[in-house]
Amino acid sequence: MRVSTPALFHSSLANILQQQAAVAKAQGQVSSGVKFKTAGENPAGMAQVLALEQALSEQAQLGSNVTTLRQRLGTEEGALGSAGDVLNRVRELAVQANTATISTENRQQIAAELNQLKAQLVEIANTSDGIGHYVFGGTLDGSKPFTEGSTGPSYAGTQDVRALSIGEGRSMIEGDSGDAVFLRIPSSGGGHADLFARVQGVIDATLADTSTSAARSLNQAQFASGLEAIDGGIEHLSTLRASVGSRLATLDAVESRLEGLDTQLRSTLSEVRDLDYAESISRLQLHSLSLQAAQSAFAKVQGLSLFNYLR
């Protein structure tokens, strides 16, 4: 084919420009570390990236929910443990007070300690998570849920508790409301009796008259039912603790699943988007070499002219 001089020039130049574009693209990839930046470079890949990034954002949020839940359930677990300790001490003191040889003075000392324990129990019921939330306030957890009144502590919180999402369609309640933990405890004789009243029962028994044998036997019956009530309370608290514990165990499982998923999502994202440096750098070198070749070919071809020989 007959080749015209401008055509020769343009095709040589086009080769150089093409190689330059390839070098620029490869260089851009190597310096940014990603295979593509816009959907126009890889529409299917971009669709995957968007879906993966959204999934990662959701995973991160679920992870944050797990952390929040663990912190709040942990605080509740601690409070339930302390309440159990208080009841155990109440039980010890009740047994100690319920001996025939104990002096009235000693019983009064015991009663004083029991009163303190009861106040401690109210304090536990008003446990805060340290950032202004009362653990047992339900969804009114901005103020102390239990206030001391003439008929014992009364509950101002709600029976609703918050739940947080821990997966698609799965949620977990953050804690237990104060009424369920301290008030709504089934008694052996039916109905409910709250923990504070149960401790008060033991205090009353400790301070009861034991001067006559009739009074003493009455007092023993009082202690017996008081101890039973305390045992019921201890059992109630340990059931709750077990439930909190199982929720914490679920959180561990959820967290490890989330971590696994997170790793998987990240590695998929990296596979889709991140650059294979070894491959890219060798491609960059290849294109650079091609560019050099094209440049050298241009110089050589353009140097060829019959006019060079016309002197």
Partner 1 sequence: MADLLNIGSSALAAATKGLDLTGHNIANVGTDGYSRQRVDQSSRAGSSINRLDTGGGVVVNGTQRLNDALLESRLVRDGSELARLDAFGSLAARADALLSDSSTSLSGTLNNFFAGLQQVASDPTATATRQAALGAAQGLADRFGSLHGELSGLDAEIDQRLTQAVASINDLSGSIAKLNRSIALAGQNLPADLLDQRNTLVQQLSTLVGVSTVAQDDGSLNVFSSGGQALVLGERVTALGTTDDLYRPGRLDISSGGVAVTRQLSGGAIGGLLDARRNLIDPALEKLGRVAVSLASEVNAVQTQGLTADGSVGSALFEVPSARVFAASSNSGSASVGLGFGNLGQLTGDDYLLRNTGGAWQLTRAKSGEVLSFTGSGSSADPFVVEGLAITLSGTAASGDSFRLSPTHDAAGSLRLLTSDPKSFAAAGRLGSSASLANTGSGKVSSPLVVDGSQPQLTAATTIRFTSATSYQIGSGPSVAFAPGDAISLNGWSVNISGQPQAGDQFSVAATPAGSSDNRNALALAALAQRKTLDGGRNTLAQANAALVTQTGATALQVSTAKTAAEAVRAQSQGERDAISGVNLDEEAANLIRYQQAYQAAAQVIATASTLFDTLLAATRR
Residues that bind partner 1 (CB under 8 A): 1-7, 10-11, 14, 37-44, 46-47, 50-51, 53-54, 57-58, 60-61, 64-65, 68, 131-133, 137, 139-143, 155, 158-160, 162-165, 168, 171, 179, 183-184, 190-192, 305-307, 310
Least distance (Å) between residue 131 CB and partner 1: 8
Local structure of 67: helix, strand or coil: helix
CA distance 175 to 163: 8
For residue 8, count other CB atoms closer than 10 A to its CB: 14
Give the residue with the Cβ less far from partner 1, 39 or 297. 39
Give the residue with the Cβ less far from partner 1, 50 or 221. 50
Give the residue with the Cβ less far from partner 1, 143 or 256. 143
Give the residue with the Cβ less far from partner 1, 24 or 224. 24
Least distance (Å) between residue 189 CB and partner 1: 11
For residue 244, count other CB atoms closer than 10 A to its CB: 22
* Interstrand relation of 146-147 and 163-167 (parallel, antiparallel or unpaired): unpaired
CA distance 64 to 255: 10
Least distance (Å) between residue 119 CB and partner 1: 22
Write down how long the chain is: 311
For residue 74, count other CB atoms closer than 10 A to its CB: 14
Give the residue with the Cβ less far from partner 1, 149 or 190. 190
CA distance 123 to 42: 61
CA distance 273 to 45: 7
Give the residue with the Cβ less far from partner 1, 54 or 88. 54
Tokens 């089934």, residue located:
186
Helices (H), 98-212: 104-125, 178, 195-206
Least distance (Å) between residue 153 CB and partner 1: 12
Least distance (Å) between residue 68 CB and partner 1: 5
Least distance (Å) between residue 282 CB and partner 1: 23
Provide the strand spans (E) within 211-288.
none
Q: How many helices (H) and strands (E) does the chain have?
A: 7, 4
Least distance (Å) between residue 167 CB and partner 1: 11
Give the residue with the Cβ less far from partner 1, 76 or 141. 141
Q: Which residues contact 88 (CB under 8 A, 6 or more apart)?
A: 234
Give the residue with the Cβ less far from partner 1, 178 or 206. 178
Rounded to a whole number of angstroms, the distance between the first and last alpha carbons of the chain is 29
Least distance (Å) between residue 310 CB and partner 1: 6
Instruction: Specify whether the CB–CB gap between 194 and 200 falls below 8 A.
Output: no
